Amino acid sequence: MTLPLTPEFAPAAYEPLAAAEGRVVLLLPPEGRLGALARRLNRAARGAVQRALDSKAWAKLKPGEAMELQWPAGLRAEAVQLVKLPARATVAEARKAGAAAGRALGEAGAVVLAAGQRRVADIALGLTLRAYDFGRYRTGEAAPKPRGTVTILVDDPDAARAAMVPVAAVAEGVCFTRDLVNEPANVLTTTDFASRLAGMKSLGLSVEVLEEKDLEKLGMRALLGVGQGSESPSKVVVMEWQGGKKGEAPFAFVGKGVCFDSGGISIKPAAGMEEMTMDMGGAGVVAGLMRTLALRKAKANVVGLVGLVENMPDGRAQRPGDIVASMKGDTIEVINTDAEGRLVLADVLWYAQDRFSPRGMIDLATLTGAIIIALGHENAGVFANDDRLAAALLKAAGAEGEGAWRMPLGPAYDEMIKSRLADMKNTGGRPGGSITAAQFLRRFVRDDTPWCHIDIAGVALQSKDTTLAPKGATGWGVMTLDRLVRDLLEG
C-alpha cells in the first residue's frame, strides 16, 4: 500500500530552521505576529518574512491558506511558506493548514514551526493526508518523486508523539482506502481484494473469506446473480476486531464491493465508465476502518463485512426480468442489472444480522447517481431507521469535516419498488432513486437492528483536488466511522 508520510517531532529551536534545505513552514496568527524563532528567521531573510506579512496578499488569506517566498535570500531553504492559523484554530483550520504544507511538499522535505500550536496532531494529519500520492503506474518524468522528511518543531515532542499514535492509525486507514479505490479493476480483482484484506490478519484482525460454494450454501442468490457474468469469483470477506468486552455484541459495518461495474446487460454509457473501478468504494471504507481500529487497538467489538463481485455482460450474465431469491428468502425481480449494488448488500446485510446479531449496523455504498443529483459532491446521503444512530453518525461526520446529510425514508417510497411478479423489484425508476434504493435495503434490516445506509457515490472519488486529498479517491468515511466508534462504543 501507499504508506502515509510519518512526520517527526523535535523541540522548537532555530537551528533546524536555519539548516533546512527544503521548505520552511511558519504557522502564523492572522495578525502576522512573529514569535522569537520566526523573528530570527526574518532577520536572516533580510526582513522578507515581515514584508510578506505586511502585504495585501497576506491580509486576503483565509485561515489554513498559505503564501510563499521562493529562494529567500539569507536562508538555505528553497522556500518559506507562511500559513495563516489562528491561535485558537478549529480542527478544520488546523488540518487545512497542515494540508497546505503537505500539498507543496517535495523531495527536500520540510521543517514546520508549530511552537505554541494547540492542535499539532490535526496539523500533522492534514499534512499527511494531503501529501498522499497514488503514483505507482506513472513512469519516466511523470513518476512520483519521493517525499522528503518532515520535522515538526513543537513545545513538547513527547506529547506530540503520543497524540500522533491514533492519528497515524487513521491516516493509514484512509490511505489504504484510497489505494483500493484508485486501483484499476484489472489489478484489484475480487481475488486480489480479498487477499489484501486477508493480509490484515497480521494486525490482529480475524479474517474469513467466503467463496462461491459457501455463498451458495447460505442462499446468497441475490449477490451471486450480480457476479455470474464475470470470470472473477464472487466473495464475501468477514473481518472481526475483538477489542471490547468478551461476549458483547459487535457493531457491524457492511460495504458494497463491486470491483468493476459495467452495468451488466443494462450496460452503462461508454463515457465515464472507466470510473466504475471505484464502485467498490463502500467496501474500501470498511476495509480502511477495520485497519484503523486494529492499528490503534480500539476498545470495541466490531465486524466488517464486504461483498466482492464484478458486474459484467456475458452469456451467463443476469438478465433484466430475472427473479432471484435472497438469503432472507424474499424474491427480487431484476428490472435493471445496473441496480446491482443493492442486491449485493441485501444478502450481506442479512448475513451480518443472522450470524452476529449486531447492536447496530451501517452500510456504505457508491449506490446511486441520484444521490449526486440531490447532494452534489459535498455530502454523502444518510438514511436510517434509528434517530439516535443517525444523529451520532452526523455528529461524527461534522466533527471530522466530512459532509453528510440525512435523507428520508417512508412507505410511499416502499410502494415504488413493489413487483407484479416477485416480492419486490430492484429499482423504482428515476424519481427518488437514491431513496428507493435505501428503501430496498431497509427490507433486509430487522426492525430491532439500529441501521444507517450511507450513499457515498458523490464523495468517494473527486474530479479535482480537495482540501485533504489530491484528485481521485478521498477515503471519505474512515475518519467519520472511526470517530463514531470512539463516541458510541468506546466513550
The whole-number pLDDT of residue 10 equals: 98
Q: What is the pLDDT of residues 11-34, one digit of tens each?
A: 999 999 999 999 999 999 999 999
| CB 255 within 8 Å of CB 285 | yes
Residues in contact with 52: Cβ distance below 8 Å, sequence separation at least 6, in sequence order: 58, 67, 69, 82
Q: What is the pLDDT of residues 354-410, one digit of tens each?
A: 999 999 999 999 999 999 999 999 999 999 999 999 999 999 999 999 999 999 999
3 pLDDT more than 90 = no
Q: Which uninterrupted H or E stretch holds 187?
A: none
CA 19 to CA 24: how far, in whole Å? 10
The whole-number pLDDT of residue 145 equals: 86
The whole-number pLDDT of residue 144 equals: 87
Q: What is the pLDDT of residues 47-89, one digit of tens each?
A: 999 999 999 999 999 999 999 999 999 999 999 999 999 989 9
Alpha helices in 219-361 (DSSP H): 221-227, 281-295, 341-356
Q: Is 344 exposed, middle or buried (0-12, 13-18, 19+ CB in 10 A)?
A: buried
Residues assigned a catalytic role: 268, 342
Q: What is the pLDDT of residues 228-250, one digit of tens each?
A: 999 999 999 999 999 999 999 99
Reading the block at residue 109, the C-alpha cell is: 522535505
Instruction: Establish how many alpha carbons lie within 13 A of residue 165's alpha carbon, considering only the half-sphere containing its beta carbon.
Output: 11
Distance from the first to the final alpha carbon of the chain: 31
E runs forming strands in 351-431:
360-365, 380-384, 404-406, 424-425
